[in-house]
Structure 1
Amino acid sequence: MRILVINAGSSSVKFGVFEGGAHVFKHSLDGLEHIEPALEKIPGILKENGYKNFDAIGHRIAHGGEVFREACIIDSKVISAIESCVPLAPLHNPPNLTGIRIVQKTWPDLPQVAVFDTAFHQTMPQKAITYAVPQEWRDLGLRRYGFHGTSHKYVMQRVAEELSKSPEDLRIISCHLGNGASICAIDKGISVDTSMGMTALEGLVMGTRSGDVDPGLFAFLYRTQGLTADQIEKSLYSESGLKALAGSNDMRVIEDKAADGDKKAQLALDIYAYRVRKYIGAYAAVMDGADVLAFTGGIGEHSAAMRKRICEGLDFMGLDFDEKKNAAVKLDGFEAPQIQKDNAKVKVIVTQTREQWMIAREAENILRSKAVTNIDKEMRHGTGR
């Protein structure tokens, strides 16, 4: 099958073509003020590179709310349900919907598949998803959902493959560390907790996002500074995190500044690693230990120094880190190197995340299962040949 995957964000559009499971073409349009013109360019770019016909199109959808527990074929009801989740992801779901609508106009007969960033975390128990707020607030859908689900699901599967085990036999702490960052506790093949919450703002310190802060800050800033909800939200999403602490959201720049003696950069690295390590410890407690600690995302894959900083002090959970193996990591494919010492109780694995590949695979699986279902229906009704 040939699958086109589209990830339409608030200021960028990434798309790729997968054929027989291989990523045969990828392209990115970045720094966009308006994404609709960029989406309209996709057919021309694909045609110029020899790609005209597809079996299906897969879309990354940021927030599926409580409605979507798995990927699905897109129809009018699905679009309406995604629209109902816009208040939960006002920055992300609207461009996702724009991508769907433009594809409908361009390829009206092609099946489209929605793959939700939140779906993998729908297995989290009530004690992990429930905020201790008034019932009338919870009735509005205020609860923890989690994100990066497609990435964490891929990491789970890749780690299990590397260890020649089933995910059901493993307790995995998956660390997706990029400009956006989250950690997921995966116990016996399912997500049982994750650091992001109702929005992608909760949890770790990120490139430009604050992560966990005291909610009392909002009332304080409103009362003393006259800041509006929109101003506070913009600051927490776009002007906080590493950018606020060190003047840059680029980990490479911050590490260079810290090496040159910049105190703010050094503190930013300490805060970042501390928050990650705190969540790792919490999730080891949640799962009564861990078998694997996995790193992915731009920082998780490429910063040996940050991996080392995070792993320092985790020997209490059976982690015995190998600095030489860590420093030697070079990822350019499907490798998943282990960077713990040979007899360590906890495996430490670094792997690239392949979210687009997972979306393509989900789309292909849905199309194949739909075809099987249709054949079954024909056989039951005596119309099969």
Structure 2
Amino acid sequence: MAEKQPWRVLVINPGSTSTKIGLFEGERSVFEKTVDHDAEELAQFAGISEQLPYRRATILAALAENGVDLSSVDAFVGRGGGLLPLQGGTYEIGDVLLDHARRGANGVQHPAQLGSQLAHEFASEAGGKPSFVVNPPDTDELCDEARMTGIDGVYRHVHLHALNLKETAIRHAASMGKRYDECNFVVCHIGGGISISAHSHGHMIDGNDIVGGEGPMTPTRCGSLPVTEVLDYLEAGHSVQDVRALALKHGGFVSLCDTSDARAVTAAAASGDASAQRAWDAMSYQICKWIGAMACVLSGEVDGILLGGGIVHDKGLVKTIEQRCSWIAPVAAYPGEFELEAMAAGARRVLDGEEEARTYTGEPAWNGFSC
């Protein structure tokens, strides 16, 4: 087998108050940095895309400080955002993708929209180098059964940590001497948000909708709720906005323990705080419950249960999941995340000819049933 070329790939992952950047040469990380952005500076911009010149300047300054010349880079990758539902994979950044990213075609305003815009600008400045997005947040590979609900005209959608979920699965498959598309996995990302997904032969066919309020409770999200209890909550005087906030940022540990810090909850539980212990146990229980559901989606044919995300650093949580779920399949922990590495790896697969770059057409991966 021919030796792979050590492509130099610059990756850009914008967040709410910072942008993570990394330069990879082959699989080796040459340079990684988190560029912080002043909240007051960001507040002056009317929308996400208006932040582009400011973020671009701060990133270029950080690259210059570390001796990174754009002309030395072979490809640029930005975090996808603002796109309509699409199949997983590596996408070339073209006009339609850029238009959707700029305006947030999916209706969600998030800094991830800037990733593709920044990558495209830097690639153009470097002489027209390739630019990509890899497994964007709106990756949608659901099977038909997963889309259905019991209400006519109401369907399930999917918002998951697709980039990290798929990269974790790809890496674990390789550790088994197999390809991702040869395996079935239940893959979890356990952090401020929690994604639990079923991967069947290279496709993420089911999972909880973290934006839609599904799944286990998390440090900041309430998770799945009984509909009638929500109606009672509304009738008691709470607003739709209140419920939406509980689903996205004020639920879970924030509501139950007045903190979003999982470490603070475990510390409080260890010191004898019964309410903190109950909240932690409930989250752990619900994670295991959803893992079981995803195993059933795969008909019990599971090659591994894979755990990623920051809270996986908690060995007690990993042990709990092993105790409840290892009868299904072996449990493997990958604490933290592989987002920068995943973005670079997606570009390398295309540059090496292992994977064909996809074209974003703007047509959603699913747009209703034909009959």
Distance 2:123 2:232 in 1: 46
User: Per-residue deviation at 1:14?
Assistant: 1.1
Distance 2:84 2:28 in 1: 31
Distance 1:355 1:371 in 2: 19
**Percent identity between the two aligned chains:** 24
Distance 1:121 1:190 in 2: 9
User: Per-residue deviation at 1:274?
Assistant: 1.1
1:13-50 per-residue CA deviation (whole Å, 9 max, x = no partner) reads 11111112211111113475325434421111111111
**1:275 alignment partner AA:** Q
Q: Which has the larger helix fraction?
A: 1
Instruction: Please give the TM-score of this superposition, normalised by the length of structure 1.
Output: 0.76
Residues 1:19 and 1:251: Cα distance change in structure 2 (over 3 Å) = same
Distance 2:204 2:283 in 1: 23
Q: How does 1:110-189 map to 2 (within 5 A)?
A: 110-118=129-137, 121-122=140-141, 124-135=142-153, 143-189=156-202
User: Per-residue deviation at 1:224?
Assistant: 4.5
**1:77 alignment partner AA:** V
User: Per-residue deviation at 1:100?
Assistant: 5.1
**1:206 alignment partner AA:** T
Distance 1:190 1:42 in 2: 34
Q: Larger RCO: Structure 1 or Structure 2 (Cα < 8 Å, ≥ 6 residues apart)?
A: 2
**2:187 alignment partner AA:** S
What corresponds to 2:304 in structure 1? Answer: 292
Q: 1:23 aligns with which of 19, 29, 51?
A: 29
Residue 47 (structure 1) aligned with residue 64 (structure 2): yes
Q: Which residues of structure 1 form unaligned runs of 5+?
A: 319-345, 374-385
What corresponds to 2:255 in structure 1? Answer: 244
**2:185 alignment partner AA:** I
Distance 1:305 1:288 in 2: 28
What corresponds to 2:216 in structure 1? Answer: 204
Distance 1:349 1:72 in 2: 29
**2:203 alignment partner AA:** I
User: Per-residue deviation at 1:120?
Assistant: 5.3
Contact 1:62/1:147 (<8 A) preserved: no
**2:64 alignment partner AA:** K
1:144-203 per-residue CA deviation (whole Å, 9 max, x = no partner) reads 223211212112122222222343443311121112221111223322211226x36432
What corresponds to 2:283 in structure 1? Answer: 272
Q: How does 1:1-385 map to 2 (within 5 A)?
A: 1-30=7-36, 32-33=38-39, 34=42, 36=52, 37-53=54-70, 54-62=73-81, 64-83=83-102, 86-96=105-115, 99=118, 103=122, 109-118=128-137, 121-122=140-141, 124-135=142-153, 143-196=156-209, 199=211, 201-214=213-226, 224-225=236-237, 227=239, 229=241, 232-289=243-300, 290-300=302-312, 302-314=313-325, 317-318=327-328, 346-352=329-335, 353-369=337-353
SS in 1 for 2:287: helix
Contact 1:64/1:85 (<8 A) preserved: yes
1:113-156 per-residue CA deviation (whole Å, 9 max, x = no partner) reads 1223346542x211112344443x6xxxx642232112121121
SS in 1 for 2:128: coil
Q: Which residues of structure 2 form unaligned runs of 5+?
A: 1-6, 43-50, 358-371
Instruction: Please give the TM-score of this superposition, normalised by the length of structure 2.
Output: 0.79
Distance 1:297 1:101 in 2: 28
Root mean square deviation, CA, Å: 3.1
User: Per-residue deviation at 1:82?
Assistant: 3.6
1:244-302 per-residue CA deviation (whole Å, 9 max, x = no partner) reads 222222222211110000112101111110110111111222212223111111112x1
Distance 2:179 2:128 in 1: 38
SS in 2 for 1:185: strand
Residues 1:109 and 1:146: Cα distance change in structure 2 (over 3 Å) = same
SS in 1 for 2:79: strand
**2:281 alignment partner AA:** D
